[in-house]
Chains A and B, each alone.
Chain A
Amino acid sequence: MKLPLTIKETQEGLKKGEYSLMELTAEYVKRINKEKDLNAFITVSEDSAYEAVKNSVSGPLSGVVVSHKDLFLTKGIRTTAASKVLESFVPEYSSTVVSRMEKAGAITIGKTNCDAWAHGASGENSDFGPSKNPWNKSYVPGGSSSGSAVAVSAGLSLVSTGTDTGGSIRQPASFCGVVGLKPTYGAVSRYGIVAMASSLDSPGVISLTVADAKAVFDVIKGEDGFDSTVKNSPPVKPKGKIKIGIPKEYFGGGLDPEVEKCVMEASRVFAKEGMEIVDISLPHTKYAIDVYYIIQPAEVASNLGRYDGIRYGGDRSAFGPEAVRRIMLGTYVLSAGYYDAYYLKAQKVRSRIIEDFNQAFRKVDLILAPVSPTPAFKLGEKSEDPVKMYLADILTAPANVSGIPGIALPFGFSKSHLPLGFQLLGPRYSEDTLFEAGEMFERATDYKPKLAI
């Protein structure tokens, strides 16, 4: 069976009777079983998927087979956060994102692997073993939404959900050559998602095309009455033609020349489409990673405080080494005598980073930048050195610290045949502009979605 690669193609195939939804779902299950060595899934929920097919509802996501990062609660389907602490936890309710997608017709096929508690940039911190990059299995798929990016790029589900706290959707999407949307903080409800860092967590989507990311975003966004940071906001639109800024601080030392070349090539594509490209400066960029590695562990330490093994899950001895590292770091920066020097200081520098973006968005509508300093790296290459691994977030964390949306788009391959790409960032609630520019880019480059396997 030839797998459909977009929502539109899927729905047309179903309408024409080329396959039934049952056959399509079974095909994904078959592919998941065949590609087990990618370790993309922690739990495959085929029985409940077939049950859902029998009772399928029609909606904008009819026929869409979706996998969810194992941080999203799924009623009746085990949810582990890729940690041994929650190894046998079966939720009694579903997250807003999951239930909205199911109500819109999507079929949940399983739960994807990730770094435990979403702590990591490679997938290697999963207590269930690392996922592998489907383009080259000796490389990492990125993280923390590792299995979600792998599932989409290997055709194990049509779309997948993820969470982006410091780059965890955009970076794995880029490493696996697929589209990754990190929405505005406050656009999508976090209700029913295992909390990592509450002021940064942005639930979003991974897909093969921009149109599909938009289709899912349109279903999952908006107030649900359960997460009071969510606001229905009208889309922020450019006044005229889209103007794109290139921040010089994102092109410093350490940026792989192939990545740089790819981003500059993308800027020429946008210029050719009639967009104005201007140089901009975001002077506090390099401090975003420091701010992130203070605020994030502080919020992690607080959120993971609830795991005491009394109400559900194992006790605190079941935390893996990275969770312990972040709990310890967060507890340290919040502890008496250090709070002002680290946590309060980080919150103030956070204001300066936001001000940088505000100033930039007075001049431009979108910002074009690399996603990660390098393409996918080898399994084991950074896992022994936390600081080295933390630096993988250096170009993605600024958007999280500022609460703005971003989309990672694939664009070509490196000499060693690993996916390359770039990200577009916009002001809060500018997702529609990101989609518009993304779709324009796909048309201009004659982009055709392609599976790794």
Chain B
Amino acid sequence: MTKLSKAEVLHVAQLAKIKLTDGEVEKYAKQLTGVVDFIGELSEVDTNGIEPTSQTTGLENINRPDNVKAEAILTQDQVLSGNDKTFNGYFKVDAILAERSDK
């Protein structure tokens, strides 16, 4: 049985940009172990020489002319309407670079 350690849960949470409390780490370690154990049943199935399926439509490479579709374009105001944190027509985000402290 695969058992997810707390370290693995924290690693996965970091990849997914989810912050967890200590209690949650413990809870998810237990619950995810249960689920991973249950889906592990798949190893019984012989898949030698079987191609994977990623979608079921049978379609491939759907192309369209490279034309602008006016009805699919929102105005800048519409795009910004979902958030109050805007400035001069832009979204405001937290700084990702800090000022150098060695200068």
Binding site for B on A (CB under 8 A): 89-90, 92-93, 185-186, 199, 225-226, 228-229, 231, 284, 287, 290-291, 293-294, 301, 305, 308-313, 316-317, 319, 324-325, 327-329, 331-333, 335, 341-342, 344-352, 354, 386-387, 390, 402-403, 428
- Could you list some 14 contacts between A and B, CB below 8 A? A89-B82, A92-B74, A92-B79, A226-B72, A287-B45, A294-B39, A327-B18, A332-B8, A344-B52, A348-B45, A349-B42, A349-B45, A351-B52, A352-B47
Please pick, from B17, B20, B34, B79, the residue contacting A387 in the complex, using a CB distance under 8 A: B34
In the bound complex, what is the Cα–Cα distance between A370 and B20 (angstroms)?
Answer: 39
Residues of B within 8 A of A428 (CB): 56
Please pick, from B19, B52, B64, the residue contacting A350 in the complex, using a CB distance under 8 A: B52
Residues of A within 8 A of B19 (CB): 316-317
Residues of A within 8 A of B11 (CB): 335
Binding site for A on B (CB under 8 A): 4, 8-9, 11-13, 15-20, 24, 28, 31-32, 34-36, 38-39, 41-45, 47, 50-57, 59, 62, 64, 69, 72, 74, 78-79, 81-83, 85, 91, 93
A311 touches B41 (CB 8 A): no
- Given the known inter-chain contacts A92-B74, A290-B41, A311-B91, please indicate yes or no for A199 contacting B54, CB distance below 8 A: yes
B56 touches A351 (CB 8 A): no
CB distance from A228 to the nearest CB of B (A): 4
B36 touches A402 (CB 8 A): no
In the bound complex, what is the Cα–Cα distance between A349 and B48 (angstroms)?
Answer: 10
CB distance from B83 to the nearest CB of A (A): 6
Please pick, from B50, B79, B85, the residue contacting A352 in the complex, using a CB distance under 8 A: B50
Residues of B within 8 A of A229 (CB): 55, 57, 59
In the bound complex, what is the Cα–Cα distance between A386 and B31 (angstroms)?
Answer: 7
CB distance from A430 to the nearest CB of B (A): 14
- Given the known inter-chain contacts A311-B83, A403-B57, please indicate yes or no for A331 contacting B12, CB distance below 8 A: yes
CB distance from B96 to the nearest CB of A (A): 12
CB distance from B34 to the nearest CB of A (A): 5
A287 touches B56 (CB 8 A): no
Please pick, from A89, A312, A327, the residue contacting B16 in the complex, using a CB distance under 8 A: A327
In the bound complex, what is the Cα–Cα distance between A335 and B18 (angstroms)?
Answer: 15
A287 touches B82 (CB 8 A): no
In the bound complex, what is the Cα–Cα distance between A271 and B64 (angstroms)?
Answer: 47
- With A229-B55, A287-B41, A290-B38 known, 18 other A-B pairs at CB within 8 A are A199-B54, A226-B72, A228-B64, A231-B57, A231-B59, A284-B45, A293-B35, A301-B16, A313-B82, A325-B28, A328-B13, A329-B32, A329-B35, A335-B15, A347-B54, A350-B52, A386-B34, A387-B38
